[in-house]
Structure 1
Amino acid sequence: MVLSLVNLCALEVVSDHSSSPYWLSCVPRELYRALLDAAFTHCRPLAVGELVQRWPERTLTVGGSRKAGECPPNRLCVQALLLAVVRGLTDKRCCLQMLDLSGLQCENGRVEDSMGGWSLSVALCSMVLQARAAASRAHRRDGERERKRGLEAERDRGTIKRDRGKVGCGNSGEGSQGGHGVEEVEKMECKTNERMLPEDESVLGVRRRMEIQRRKTLSEGKSNTSSNSSRLCDQDWDEVVVVHVRADLFVNSRSWERVRDALSQPGPLRLHCHYLRVEELSAPSIASLLGLLPQQNLLGVDIRYSSLGVSGLAMLLPLLAPFPQLHSLRLHYCNLDLQRTQPGQQGALQDMSKGLGSLKKLKRLCLTALRLPGHLRLLLSSLSQPLEVLKLPYLCLTSTDLAYLSCSQHAPFLRELDLSENWLDESSLPSLRRLLAQAENSLCQLSLCGCGLSDTLLSALLPSLSSCQALRRLRLALNPLSRTGLLCLARTAAGIPSLRLLLYPNPLEEYEPGLPALPSSAQLLDWPLLEESEGRDLTLRLLEEVLNLRGRSRDLLVTSDLLNYSPDLTVDE
Structure 2
Amino acid sequence: MVLSLVDLCAQEVVRDHSSSPSWLRCVPRELYDALLRAAFSGCRPLAVGELVQRWPERRLRVSGERSGTGSGGTQPPNRLCIQALLLAVVRGLADHRCVLQFLDLCGLQRDAGGDPMGGWSLTVAICSMLGQARAGMQARGEALGARGEGERKRVLAMAREGEGVKRERAPRKREREGEVVMETSSEGEGVARTEEEKAVGVRRRMEQERRRGGGGVGGGGEGSGREESGAGSEEVLLQVRADLFVNARSWERVRTALSSPGPLRLTCRFLRVEELTVSKTRRLLELLPAPGLRGVDLRYSTLGMEGLSQLLPLLSSFPALGSLRLHYCHLDLRGSVTGQEEVLKKVALGLAQLPELRRLSLTALRLPGHLRLLLSSLARPLQVLELPYLSLSSADLAFLSCSHHASSLQRLDLSENRLDASSLPSIRRLLSQASSSLQHLTLCGCSLTDGLLGALLPSLTCCRALKSLSLALNPVSRAGLTQLVSCALGMASLRHLLYPSPLEEYQPGLPELPSSAQLLDWPLDELQDFTATATHLHSLARDRGRTDLVLTYDLLNYHHDLLD
Shared fold (TM-score, shorter chain, > 0.5) = yes
Name 2:77's counterpart in structure 1: 73
Task: Report % sequence identity.
Answer: 59
The aligned amino acid for 1:491 is S
Residue 8 of structure 1: how far off its partner (Å) = 1.3
For 1:487, the equivalent position in structure 2 comes to 482
Q: Which residue of 1 aligns with 2:10?
A: 10
Instruction: Give the counterpart letter for 1:565 in structure 2.
Output: Y
**Counterpart-to-counterpart distance in 1, 2:340 and 2:232:** 49
1:106 counterpart (82, 107, 110) = 110
Does residue 380 (structure 1) correspond to residue 382 (structure 2)? The answer is no
Is contact 2:355–2:379 with CA below 8 Å preserved after alignment? yes
Q: Which residue of 1 aligns with 2:288?
A: 293
The Cα of 1:168 is off from its aligned counterpart by 5.1
The answer to whether structure 1 residue 515 and structure 2 residue 510 are counterparts is yes
Amino acid at match of 1:177: R
Distance in 2, Cα, partners of 1:35 & 1:489: 49
Determine if the alignment matches structure 1 residue 547 to structure 2 residue 521.
Answer: no
Of 116, 131, 134, the residue aligned with 1:132 is 134
Is the CA contact (8 Å cut-off) linking 2:412 and 2:440 kept in structure 1?
A: yes
**Counterpart contact for 2:140–2:231, Cα < 8 Å:** no
Q: Deviations over 1:361-385 (max 9, x none)?
A: 0001111000100000111111110
In structure 2, the partner of 1:177 is 176
- State whether structure 2 residue 562 is matched by structure 1 residue 563: no
User: How many Å apart are 1:304 and its aligned residue?
Assistant: 0.5
How far the C-alpha of 1:566 sits from its partner, in A, is: 6.0
Q: 1:361 to 1:461 in 2, by over 3 A?
A: same
Q: Give per-residue Cα distances to partners, 1:97-119, cap 9 Å, x unaligned.
A: 000000000122xx242210000
Give the structure 1 partner of residue 261 of structure 2: 266
- Kept in 1, the 8 Å contact 2:64–2:73? The answer is no
Give the residue type in structure 2 aligned to 1:563: L
For the residues of structure 2 that align with 1:32 and 1:416, how far apart are their CA atoms? 39
Root-mean-square deviation (Å): 2.3
Say which SS state the counterpart of residue 270 (structure 1) adopts: strand
Distance 2:463 2:229 in 1: 62
Q: Partner of 1:209 in structure 2?
A: none
Distance 1:569 1:328 in 2: 17
3-state SS, counterpart of residue 245 of structure 1: strand
Matching of residues 450-469 of structure 1 within 5 Å: 450-469=445-464
- Helix, strand or coil for the counterpart of 1:25? helix
Q: Distance in 2 between matches of 1:319 and 1:235?
A: 31
State the alpha-carbon separation in 1 of the partners of residues 364 and 562 from structure 2.
25
The structure-2 alpha-carbon separation of the partners of 1:568 and 1:349, relative to structure 1 and needing over 3 Å to count, comes to: closer
Q: What amino acid maps onto 1:107 in structure 2?
A: D
Letter of the 1:51 partner, please give it. L
Distance 1:299 1:356 in 2: 15
- Please say if residues 292 and 320 of structure 2, whose CA atoms lie closer than 8 Å, have aligned partners that are also in contact: yes
The structure number with the bigger radius of gyration is: 1
**What SS does the corresponding residue of 1:238 show, helix, strand or coil?**
coil
Q: Distance in 2 between matches of 1:405 and 1:344?
A: 25
Q: Does 1:246 align with 2:241?
A: yes
**How far apart in 1 are the matches of 2:339 and 2:322?**
29
Query: CA, structure 1 residues 107+66, in 2 after alignment: closer, same or farther (shift >3 Å)?
Result: farther
Q: Is the 8 A contact 2:299 2:328 kept in 1?
A: yes
Report the 3-state secondary structure (helix = DSSP H, G, I; strand = E; otherwise coil) of the residue aligned with 1:490: helix
The answer as to whether partners of 1:64 and 1:101 remain within 8 angstroms in 2 is no
Contact 2:309/2:347, CA 8 A, preserved across alignment: yes
Within the alignment, does 1:82 sit opposite 2:98 as a pair? no
Q: Which moved more, 1:345-354 or 1:444-453?
A: 345-354
TM-score (norm 2): 0.89
Distance 1:105 1:459 in 2: 41
Distance change >3 Å, CA 562–CA 133, structure 1 → 2: same
Whichever residue aligns with residue 326 of structure 2, its letter is L
Unaligned runs of 5+ in 1: 190-202, 205-218
Q: Which residue of 2 aligns with 1:36?
A: 36
Does 1:441 pair with 2:436?
yes
Give distance in 1, aligned partners of 2:100 and 2:215: 33
- Give a deviation string over 1:34-54, Cα, whole Å, max 9, x none: 111111101111111011000
Instruction: Go from structure 1 to structure 2 and tell me whether the alpha carbon gap of 1:69 and 1:50 turns closer, same or farther (over 3 Å shift).
Output: closer
Shift of 1:4: 1.6
Instruction: Give secondary structure in 1 for the equivalent of 2:107.
Output: coil
**Whole-angstrom distance in 2 between the partners of 1:563 and 1:69:** 25
Q: Are 1:324 and 2:326 counterparts?
A: no
Shift of 1:161: 3.7
Q: Tell me, yes or no, if the aligned pair for 1:131 and 1:268 is still in contact at 8 Å.
A: yes
Residues 247, 272 of structure 1: 8 Å contact kept: yes
Q: Distance in 2 between matches of 1:140 and 1:237?
A: 9
1:471-525 Cα shifts (integer Å, max 9, x gaps): 0000000000011111111111111100000000001111111111110000000
Cα deviation for residue 165 of structure 1 reads 4.8
Ranges in structure 2 where 5+ consecutive residues have no aligned partner: 190-207, 220-227
1:526 counterpart = 2:521: yes
Equivalent runs, 1:138-287 vs 2, <5 Å: 138-167=140-169, 169-170=171-172, 173-174=173-174, 176-179=175-178, 181-182=179-180, 237-287=232-282
- The one-character-per-residue Cα deviations of 1:518-570 (angstroms, maximum 9, x if unpaired) are 10000000011111343x33322331343234321x10001100122364543
Deviation at 1:235, TM superposition (A): 9.6
TM-superposed deviation, 1:60:
0.7
Give 1:70 deviation, angstroms. 4.5
Match in the other structure for 2:223: none
Q: Please state how far the C-alpha of 1:410 moved relative to its aligned partner.
A: 0.4
Q: TM-score of the superposition, structure 1-length normalised?
A: 0.88
Q: Which amino acid is 1:9 matched to?
A: C
Q: Residues 46-69 of structure 1: CA distance to partner in whole angstroms, max 9, x if unpaired? A: 111011000010011101414799
| CA–CA separation in structure 1 for the residues paired with 2:500 and 2:374 | 32
What letter is aligned with 2:87? L
d(CA) in 1 for partners of 2:252, 2:240:
19
Specify the code of the residue in structure 1 equivalent to 2:144.
Answer: D
**2:492 pairs with one of 493, 497, 500:** 497
Q: Secondary structure at the match of 2:296?
A: strand
Contact 1:6-1:34 at 8 Å conserved across structures: yes
Measured after TM superposition, the shift of residue 159 of structure 1 is 2.8
Question: Which has the larger share of helix?
Answer: 1
What's 1:213 paired with? none
Q: In the alignment, which residue of structure 1 is the partner of 2:224?
A: none
Q: C-alpha separation between the residues in 2 aligned to 1:389 and 1:566?
A: 16
Structure-2 residue corresponding to 1:27? 27
Report the AA paired with residue 525 of structure 2: L
| Contact kept? 2:64, 2:74, Cα under 8 Å | no
Residue in structure 1 matching 2:393, options 388, 392, 398: 398
Decide whether the 8 Å contact of 2:65 with 2:74 is kept in 1: no
Q: CA deviation at 1:237?
A: 4.2
Residue in structure 2 matching 1:302, options 297, 306, 313: 297
Shift of 1:320: 0.3
Distance 1:401 1:168 in 2: 103
1:407 to 402, 408, 414: 402
